[in-house]
Amino acid sequence: MVFIVALALLFGLLLALLLIPRHHKSGQKGNAHSTLNNKDKESKSFSKSEVSLHHKRTDCWIIIKNKVYDVTPYVEEHPGGDAILAHAGDDSTEGFFGYASVPFYPLFVRRNSSGNPSEWYRHISKGGWPFSTRDNGWSVSDCSAEGLKVAILLSNMPFETVGKAIETEQLYDAVNYILSLQATSMRVICLVDM
């Protein structure tokens, strides 16, 4: 669900960027440029501290690739408006271009729940993806299989598109979790460098 919302957010922002006319002139390095409220069509430079003042729902600016965008009217219309507000007044370049890796991988369960899982008649949870949140703690086979599939597909895509790939060790943990649900005699017993 989070992945779908993130994709909708990216699609919506991309659509807004394509539909909203912007006029740019090159400026000083380190500053963000925009044509916000500019009647004479000249580009104005804003410092990051100036942009950071615009972080409210009623006054929302973001920076993408050193360009400032006033997304205030868009925040209310977009279903992922709260995600936009999380980056309001800040540089959103990484979030805009590499957003798929941000909400997806944090759901991955990195360690087993405290105590002995056999006392609860549960499988290990490390390496799986839960149905709702990582705080839930109990991984689900379907979510974990889909999560592993998506993680492998995303790891083959360029960093600029999807951000940082999942660690190899975490892929092994995910495979180990899925195998633990199928048979007790099958486990990843060692890692082999190829």
Segment 45-99, tens digit of pLDDT = 888 888 889 888 888 888 888 888 888 887 777 766 677 788 788 887 776 665 4
Q: Which of 78, 97, 116 is the last residue of a domain?
A: 97
Question: Are 44 and 117 found together in one domain?
Answer: no
Question: Are 90 and 8 found together in one domain?
Answer: yes
- DSSP states along the chain: -HHHHHHHHHHHHHHHHHHS--------TT-EEE-TT-SS---EEE-HHHHTT-EETTEEEEEETTEEEE-HHHHHHSTTHHHHHHTTTSB-HHHHHSTTHHHHGGGS--SPPSS-GGGGT----TT--BSS-GGG--B-HHHHHHHHHHHHHHHTS-HHHH-SPPPHHHHHHHHHHHHHHH-TT---------
pLDDT of 111: 63
- What percent of the chain is predicted at pLDDT more than 90? 0
Question: Are 122 and 59 found together in one domain?
Answer: no
- Total domains in the chain come to 2
- pLDDT tier for residue 101 given thresholds of 50, 70 and 90: very low
Question: Are 79 and 106 found together in one domain?
Answer: no
Q: Which of 97, 113, 148 is the last residue of a domain?
A: 97
pLDDT of 23: 46
Question: Are 88 and 165 found together in one domain?
Answer: no
**59 vs 17, residue with greater confidence:** 59
Q: Which of 62, 97, 132 is the last residue of a domain?
A: 97
pLDDT of 45: 84
Distance CA 65, CA 95 (A): 11
Domain of 143?
Answer: 101-182
pLDDT exceeds cutoff 50 at 28: no
Question: Are 88 and 46 found together in one domain?
Answer: yes
